[in-house]
Amino acid sequence: MTHYHIWTIGCQMNKAESRRIAGLLTAGGYEEDARLESADLVILNTCVVRQSAEDRIIGTLGLLKGIKRERQDLRIAVTGCFTARDRKALHKRFPHVDLFFDAGAYNQLSEWLSAHPLPGAAAPQGLPHDSAGDTPCARAIEADGSAGVSTYVPIIQGCNNFCTYCIVPYTRGREVSRPIEEIEAEVRELVLRGTREVVLLGQNVDSFGHDLPGHPDLAELLMRLQPIPGLLRIRFLTNHPKDMSRRLISTMEELDKVCEHIDLALQSGNNDILREMNRGYTVEDYSRLVDEIRAAMPRISLSTDIIVGFPGETELQFEETHSTLERLRFDVVHVAAYSPRPGTLAARKYADSVPDDVKRSRLHRVEILQEAVAGQINERYVRGTEDVLVQGRRRGKWFGRTRTDKLVFFESEEGLTGQLVQVTIDKASPWALQGTLDYTSITEARRVHQL
Ligand code: SF4
């Protein structure tokens, strides 16, 4: 038996793609190895959105170089955003890597494995093809045929937006949507295999469908998925403030399986910086959109992304970001310090002028603010009862998520993975909720489970 290990960093899209590669390899007779050190085939699925991620890739490639010196039959393949560079230069710098293949291009991996079969495994082949990139469609399934309670389903690849700091349009190319029928068929199959929640993925899910015949949109896709029996919840990531439609907001309101959570990157609270980032909206536009969302869905939870230390960001401009966060009060803020990505417009046009210690201190100030805001928001859950979709056990407790994407821990003697139960919240922190299971909800959960 040939063993593979997939090492993944980066966004949810990378995680979803790694699951698909794992499905492809499992279908080809390979077995997963939890340890990189002992696998016969190691695949690195990479991200270069931040310098720190790039440093980790280079460190892991160094580790693999040492292992390959001892074990010459080790095969190493690298995919994801790191491979979007000059391939000749990559081969020259990392001669111990056997294959660099494009993000999402499973066919390149499949063809290479056919040409260079590893002992004990058939080359993965003969699988149906995805529309996005003409790739073999390996479902997100485990070796035993089951699928996770919550499964990522990519619906659109690439991005046409060209935010000046972002490498994604260069590494993943222009937007390509998957046909609605294909997504629906995949979700139906996942549900048959045990999935209860799907998270629809795209760099910009609001662009979904514009390149398909008849131009369907995300709202239409949600309406197609809503009636699927056994599917309990639908989520999606990530929205773009300039593209999110009113139709999507009203569709979210109407469809009971669509959860009350939106990930809406703000990036900066200063209009000049937003313009330099080419984000296509102002702080006022963004605030209006948040007001509309909250008016339509008062329970909505909102997460956002912030970059501090963009070239030229003054103290005053950062203060505007800080005060915008104070005013809008997000459930979750993902904050990152700007790092120039070679090949992007920002890296070509601007010097990385904000010193590292200033970036660090701004980042820290956002974290402190957010901890306080998230703590206050989560405190409001205490003594309320939440529907929790149970995902598994961690540190001796069951855990799952509310419709608003809050992590909830609770105790139970019974196995509850995949069930929708009710939990009364006893305690809150900025990061999670602790609660008590309502045992009468288990019977109801089982009934729904069997539908
Ligand atoms: S919307 Fe902007 S930040 Fe997001 S992937 Fe596209 S270019 Fe990058």
pLDDT in tens, 377-420: 999 999 999 999 999 999 899 999 999 999 999 999 888 999 99
What pLDDT is stored for residue 123 in this prediction? 56
**Measured in angstroms, how far is the CA atom of residue 344 from the centroid of ligand 1?**
11
| Mean of pLDDT values over 196-219 | 97
| Helix/strand/coil for 15 | helix
Question: Phi/psi of residue 300, each to 5°?
Answer: -55, 140
Whether the pLDDT of residue 360 is over 80: the answer is yes
The count of C-alpha atoms lying within 13 angstroms of the C-alpha of 184, restricted to the half-sphere facing its C-beta, is 14
| Mean of pLDDT values over 207-213 | 97
Question: Phi/psi of residue 411, each to 5°?
Answer: -105, 150
**Measured in angstroms, how far is the CA atom of residue 259 from the centroid of ligand 1?**
23
| Strand-strand pairing, 407-411 and 41-46 | unpaired
Evaluate whether 47 touches 41 at the Cβ level (below 8 Å). Answer: no
CB-ligand 1 contact for 161 (6 Å cutoff):
yes
Evaluate whether 451 touches 230 at the Cβ level (below 8 Å). Answer: yes
What pLDDT is stored for residue 442 in this prediction? 73
Whether the pLDDT of residue 139 is over 90: the answer is no
Length of the chain counted residue by residue: 451
Structure tokens at 435: 């609660």
CB-ligand 1 contact for 166 (6 Å cutoff):
yes
What pLDDT is stored for residue 136 in this prediction? 33
**Measured in angstroms, how far is the CA atom of residue 144 from the centroid of ligand 1?**
36
Whether the pLDDT of residue 290 is over 50: the answer is yes
Whether the pLDDT of residue 235 is over 60: the answer is yes
Question: Which residue's C-alpha comes closest to atom 1 of ligand 1?
Answer: 161
pLDDT band at 164 (very low <50, low <70, confident <90, very high): very high
What pLDDT is stored for residue 87 in this prediction? 87
3-state helix, strand, coil in the chain (%, to 5): 40, 20, 40
CB-ligand 1 contact for 46 (6 Å cutoff):
no
What integer best gives the mean pLDDT of the chain?
A: 90
133 versus 308: the higher-pLDDT residue is 308
**Measured in angstroms, how far is the CA atom of residue 162 from the centroid of ligand 1?**
6
pLDDT band at 129 (very low <50, low <70, confident <90, very high): very low
CA-to-CA distance for 14 and 17, rounded, in angstroms?
5
Percent of the chain whose pLDDT exceeds 70: 92
**Measured in angstroms, how far is the CA atom of residue 159 from the centroid of ligand 1?**
6
CB-ligand 1 contact for 13 (6 Å cutoff):
no
Whether the pLDDT of residue 137 is over 50: the answer is no
CB-ligand 1 contact for 168 (6 Å cutoff):
yes
Evaluate whether 341 touches 165 at the Cβ level (below 8 Å). Answer: yes
Mutate which of 50, 203, 239, 242 for ligand 1 pocket (most atoms within 8 A of beta carbon): 203
Whether the pLDDT of residue 246 is over 90: the answer is yes
Evaluate whether 33 touches 68 at the Cβ level (below 8 Å). Answer: no
Report which ligand 1 atom has the smallest distance to the Cα of 267: 3
pTM: 0.85
| Mean of pLDDT values over 287-310 | 98
Evaluate whether 138 touches 127 at the Cβ level (below 8 Å). Answer: yes
The count of C-alpha atoms lying within 13 angstroms of the C-alpha of 223, restricted to the half-sphere facing its C-beta, is 11
| Strand-strand pairing, 99-100 and 75-80 | parallel
| Mean of pLDDT values over 246-272 | 98
| Mean of pLDDT values over 177-189 | 97
Question: Which residue's C-alpha comes closest to atom 2 of ligand 1?
Answer: 163
What pLDDT is stored for residue 106 in this prediction? 82
Structure tokens at 200: 């629809």
CA-to-CA distance for 421 and 145, rounded, in angstroms?
25
| Mean of pLDDT values over 265-273 | 98
Report which ligand 1 atom has the smallest distance to the Cα of 278: 2
Other C-beta atoms within 10 Å of 339: how many? Answer: 19
Angle at 247 between CA 246 and CA 252, to 5 degrees: 100
CA-to-CA distance for 402 and 231, rounded, in angstroms?
16
Evaluate whether 245 touches 222 at the Cβ level (below 8 Å). Answer: no
CA-to-CA distance for 79 and 262, rounded, in angstroms?
29
Q: pLDDT per residue over 315-350, tens digit each?
A: 999 999 999 999 999 999 999 999 999 889 999 999
Whether the pLDDT of residue 127 is over 60: the answer is no
> Can you point out the beta strands (E) in 69-149?
75-80, 99-100
Whether the pLDDT of residue 133 is over 60: the answer is no
Q: Closest by alpha carbon to 158, among 246, 247, 84?
A: 84
11 versus 294: the higher-pLDDT residue is 294
What pLDDT is stored for residue 220 in this prediction? 98
Percent of the chain whose pLDDT exceeds 90: 73
> Can you point out the beta strands (E) in 106-167?
150-154, 156-157
What pLDDT is stored for residue 135 in this prediction? 37
What pLDDT is stored for residue 15 in this prediction? 86
- Exposure string of 105-117, with b = 16+ CB inside 10 Å and e = fewer, is bbbbbbebbeeee
37-46, 110-119, 437-446: which has the minimum mean pLDDT? 437-446
| Mean of pLDDT values over 127-143 | 42
CA-to-CA distance for 142 and 193, rounded, in angstroms?
9
| Helix/strand/coil for 29 | coil
Question: Phi/psi of residue 216, each to 5°?
Answer: -70, 165
The count of C-alpha atoms lying within 13 angstroms of the C-alpha of 384, restricted to the half-sphere facing its C-beta, is 14
CA-to-CA distance for 317 and 12, rounded, in angstroms?
30
What pLDDT is stored for residue 367 in this prediction? 98
Whether the pLDDT of residue 52 is over 90: the answer is no
CA-to-CA distance for 149 and 419, rounded, in angstroms?
9
Question: Which residue's C-alpha comes closest to atom 4 of ligand 1?
Answer: 203
Report which ligand 1 atom has the smallest distance to the Cα of 159: 6
**Measured in angstroms, how far is the CA atom of residue 73 from the centroid of ligand 1?**
39
| Mean of pLDDT values over 367-378 | 98
Question: Which residue's C-alpha comes closest to atom 8 of ligand 1?
Answer: 166
**Measured in angstroms, how far is the CA atom of residue 66 from the centroid of ligand 1?**
36
| Helix/strand/coil for 440 | helix
Evaluate whether 176 touches 207 at the Cβ level (below 8 Å). Answer: no
Angle at 266 between CA 399 and CA 354, to 5 degrees: 110
Mutate which of 14, 49, 159, 276 for ligand 1 pocket (most atoms within 8 A of beta carbon): 159
